[in-house]
Amino acid sequence: MSEQFRAEVFQNQYLPQGVREVNAIMTITSENVDVKVATPKNGRLFGIICDTSGSMGGNKIQAAKEAMSKLVNLLPHDAHFFIVTGASRANVVFPVSPATGEKKQQAIAAIKHIKANGGTLMSTWLTQALTQFKIMPQAVRQALLLTDGQNDDSDEESLQNVLKQCEGVFQCDCRGVGTDWRVAQLQQIADQLLGTTDIIPNAAMIEADFRSILEKAMSKNVSDVALRLWTPQGAKILFCKQVSPDIVDLTHRSQPVKAQVVDYPTGAWGSNESRDYHFCIEVNPGNVGDEMLAGRASLIYTLNGVENKLAEARILATWTDDEAKSTKIDRRVAHYTGQAELAQSIQEGLEARARNDMEIATAKLGKAVKLAHESGNEATAKLLKTVVDVLDAPTGTVRLKREVAKEDAMALETRSTKTTRIPKSGN
C-alpha cells in the first residue's frame, strides 16, 4: 500500500537565528489506488439529502426529483444508497439499499411522490442521514445535500450538535439552488463534513451538478484517512490547512493520538488524486548550525482496527547566519500563503460591499484581483470581473460595478476558497 501514496515536503528549512516558525507544504498523491482496498463487504454508501420545504415548490422540486431519479439510475451496482428529504422534519424516502435494478426502480417510484411543504430545520435532515450511514460503518460514506433556503435560526444549536455527531461518519457536498440560501450556512456544514459548497444558479442545472458529484464520490476507494503529525517536545502547531484543491482549515479538527502526536481528518481518497497541505509549526529555536526534525507527517489508513501508514515526509529546521539561505522563500509556501490571502481579501471585500463600505470593498477586491493575477488563478480572476471592472490587474486597480447579479456575488463567495496549484515550470 505504501507504493500507492506518495508524499513530498517543500520548504526552506534554513532559518535565521532566533526564528521559531517553520512553514512547509506537503503534497500527497494517490497513484492507482487498488479498488480492492474498499472490499465488497465494506462497499460504498451514497446518501441523497434533499430540501422539500415550501420554497422548493414548483420548478425547483420538479427539477430536483428528475435529477435524483437520474442519479439513482447512474449508481453502480456494487454501491448502496438512500434518500432523505427534509423540511421542518426529515423523512426517509428510501432506506439503505443495494443499487440493484429492482431497488432503483422502487426508489424512483418513491421519488415521484415527493412534495414540497413546510419550514427548514437542517439538523433533522442530518440526523436522519446519520442514522442511515451508521448502518454501513465501514463503507466509503458520502452524501449530497441540496437546499434553496436558509436554515431557521432556532435550529442553530441543534445543527451544531448533530454536525459534531456526523463528523468522521460521512462526508457531505452541499449545493444551494437559486439565491435565497446563505453561503456561510452551507459552508459550515460542508467544511465540518469535509465536503464542498457551490451554487446552482437555476433549477435546470441541478442534474449536471448531481452527476459531477456522484462521479467524484464513486471514484473514492479509501475511506477514513488521517494526516498524522508528530512534533518535538516544546513545539506548537500554529495551523494545519488543506490548501489545494481548495482551502480547508483543519487546525481545530486535531485529535490527540498520544503525546506530541495528533491526527487531522482528510476524508476519502480516490485514484490519481493529489492534495496539498500547509503546516506552520513553532519550535524552540536552535543555535547557528543546529538542525532539528521539526515535524513528521504521515498518512494513516485504518482498516478493521489496524493502522496502515500510507506515506510519510519529514519537516526540517536548520538555523544559519547565511542570509542568502535564510531569506529564500520556498515558492510553494509563498504561493499558498498568497492563495489564502486571496480568499480572505475576497471575503472581506464582499462583506464591506454588503454593508455599503465602498472604499474598503474597492481596496480589498482590488487586492484580490492583484493576487489572482500574480498567482495565475484565472478561475477566480474571472469571477472577480463579475463584481468589479478591472482597470489594471497587475496593480489591483478596480472600480466596483454598480449593478451585480446576486448569483454572481454568491458564486464568487462560494468559490473563493478554490486554489490554483503552482505551475510545474516553477518547480
Within this chain, do residues 201 and 179 fall inside the same structural domain, yes or no? Answer: yes
Within this chain, do residues 206 and 142 fall inside the same structural domain, yes or no? Answer: yes
Within this chain, do residues 75 and 187 fall inside the same structural domain, yes or no? Answer: yes
Q: What is the dihedral of CA 280, 285, 287, 291, to 10 degrees?
A: -40
Within this chain, do residues 248 and 144 fall inside the same structural domain, yes or no? Answer: no
Contacts of 311 (CB under 8 A, 6+ apart): 2, 5, 6, 7, 28, 298, 299
* End residue of a domain, out of 326, 349, 384: 326
* DSSP one-letter string for 382-425: HHHTTTEEEEETTTTEEEE-S---HHHHHHHHHHTTB--PPPGG
The CATH number that applies at residue 179 is 3.40.50.410
- Report pLDDT for 270: 87
Confidence (pTM): 0.92
In a domain, 129, yes or no: yes
In a domain, 357, yes or no: yes
- Report pLDDT for 222: 85
- Report pLDDT for 40: 36
CA-wise closest residue to 387 among 407, 415, 357, 360 = 407
Within this chain, do residues 82 and 177 fall inside the same structural domain, yes or no? Answer: yes
The CATH number that applies at residue 7 is 2.60.40.3670
Q: Based on the structure, what is the number of domains in the chain?
A: 3
- Report pLDDT for 423: 67
Mean pLDDT of the chain: 94
Contacts of 241 (CB under 8 A, 6+ apart): 247, 248, 249, 250, 251, 277, 278, 340
In 214-362, where do the E strands start and end? 220-230, 236-244, 248-249, 255-258, 261-270, 273-282, 291-303, 306-320
- Report pLDDT for 42: 79
In a domain, 301, yes or no: yes
- Report pLDDT for 131: 98
CA–CA separation, 281 vs 288, rounded Å?
A: 19
* End residue of a domain, out of 293, 326, 359: 326
Domain span at 250: 2-32+221-326
**Cα–chain-centroid distance for residue 409?**
20
Within this chain, do residues 129 and 83 fall inside the same structural domain, yes or no? Answer: yes
Within this chain, do residues 154 and 296 fall inside the same structural domain, yes or no? Answer: no
The CATH number that applies at residue 413 is 1.20.120.1690
pLDDT in tens, 33-59: 554 444 435 799 999 999 999 999 999
Within this chain, do residues 169 and 308 fall inside the same structural domain, yes or no? Answer: no
- Report pLDDT for 154: 97
Within this chain, do residues 74 and 196 fall inside the same structural domain, yes or no? Answer: yes
- Report pLDDT for 302: 82
- Report pLDDT for 36: 46
Mean pLDDT for back-to-back runs of 10 residues, the chain (427 residues): 77 96 96 51 90 96 97 95 98 98 98 97 98 95 97 97 97 97 96 96 95 93 91 97 96 96 94 94 96 97 84 96 94 96 97 97 98 96 98 98 97 96 62
pLDDT in tens, 3-35: 488 999 999 999 999 999 999 999 999 886 554
Within this chain, do residues 295 and 404 fall inside the same structural domain, yes or no? Answer: no
Per the document, the length of the chain is 427
- Report pLDDT for 38: 41
CA-wise closest residue to 218 among 72, 29, 414, 104 = 72
Within this chain, do residues 336 and 305 fall inside the same structural domain, yes or no? Answer: no
In a domain, 253, yes or no: yes
Within this chain, do residues 377 and 412 fall inside the same structural domain, yes or no? Answer: yes
CB 296 within 8 A of CB 230: yes
88: exposed, middle or buried (Cβ count in 10 Å: 0-12, 13-18, 19+): middle
- Report pLDDT for 422: 82
* End residue of a domain, out of 262, 297, 326: 326
H or E element, residue 51: strand 44-51
Here the cell at position 97 is 439499499
* DSSP one-letter string for 237-252: EEEEEEEESB-EE-GG
CB 293 within 8 A of CB 314: yes
- Report pLDDT for 221: 85
